[in-house]
Amino acid sequence: MAGYRRDQDAYGHEIWDYFTKTRAWIAETVERSDGLVDPSETNPASYFASYKEWPGIEKRGIKYAKGSVLDVGCGPGRVAVYLQDQRKLEVVGIDNSPLALKVARQRGLKRSKRISFKNVSAELGRFDTIIMYRNNFGLFGSFARARTLLKKLYRMTTDDALVICESLNPYDTKDPDHLSYQRQNKARGRMGGQVRIRVRYRKYIGRWFDYLLVSPEEMKEIVKGTGWRFERLIQSKGSPLYVAILSKTSQKV
């Protein structure tokens, strides 16, 4: 990938260290554009969790996966390897982290490609299912980019294809720092949950990127006119996390 520097793959180094046990793992830190620094409470073991250990909403959502699958932001292959080995589906995993993909391949993922989500194209294949788990709806980045990429995915998928995606309702919070950031976003014409962040791990510092957190209502607005419809909502009481199932409409885009 053009412009890639190994010292910017903070996420990949975290995954690699945990997988290889070459040195003690320490928590990653997420830095937001307003200066907020948030040490992650997520243990990287969750990136390798077996199906039995998945959150209930993910277990319920993955039942809809079928046919040829594109796993967007596959990381070390938690979902992709499960679908490939346990469900016997044809899976292509994509990620922009070379180290994460190296781990996925060592864990048995047969087909993978290092590519930024914004650069996906029909060259990857034609798919029946698009998976965007672990809050990876956020990889759309913004309202406009989400609509552009959803139209791309429409053209890369079969007539009865599904998008199975996970997001987090950013407004389900009382944190004054988050509420202030949301107000600033809206004043700038951005979505409230459009966060600009970068990941730090040990001495590695990732690039700044936009990550999009949306409510179910906002997701419904985003998908209108893209060839997709908001088909089903899967959520757990008391949690801002949810899984959505998007299905194709008859509309051509």
Q: For 78-113, write each residue's pLDDT tens digit.
A: 999 999 999 999 999 999 999 999 999 999 999 999
* 163 contacts 245 by C-beta, under 8 angstroms: yes
Task: Report which DSSP code applies to 246.
Answer: E
CATH code of 86's domain = 3.40.50.150
> Is 253 a domain residue?
no
For the segment 57-71, the average pLDDT, to the nearest whole number, is 98
Cα 116–chain centre separation = 12
> Is 192 a domain residue?
yes
pLDDT tens per residue, range 222-245? 999 999 999 999 999 999 999 999
Distant-in-sequence, close-in-space partners of 88: CB < 8 Å, separation ≥ 6: none
> Is 233 a domain residue?
yes
Cβ burial of 217 (10 Å; 0-12, 13-18, 19+) is exposed
> Is 1 a domain residue?
no
pLDDT of residue 222: 98
Nearest-CA neighbor of 78 among 166, 141, 168?
166
Instruction: Specify the number of domains making up the chain.
Output: 1
Q: Is the pLDDT of residue 150 over 70?
A: yes
> Is 228 a domain residue?
yes
Q: pLDDT category, 1, cuts 50, 70, 90?
A: very low
Task: Identify the bridge partners of residue 228 per DSSP, sorted by sequence position.
Answer: 248
pLDDT tens per residue, range 4-24? 566 789 999 999 999 999 877
pLDDT tens per residue, range 187-211? 999 999 999 999 999 999 999 999 9
Q: Is the pLDDT of residue 68 over 70?
A: yes
> Is 89 a domain residue?
yes
Domain that holds residue 10: 6-248
Spatial separation of the C-alpha atoms in residues 213 and 193, rounded to whole Å = 5
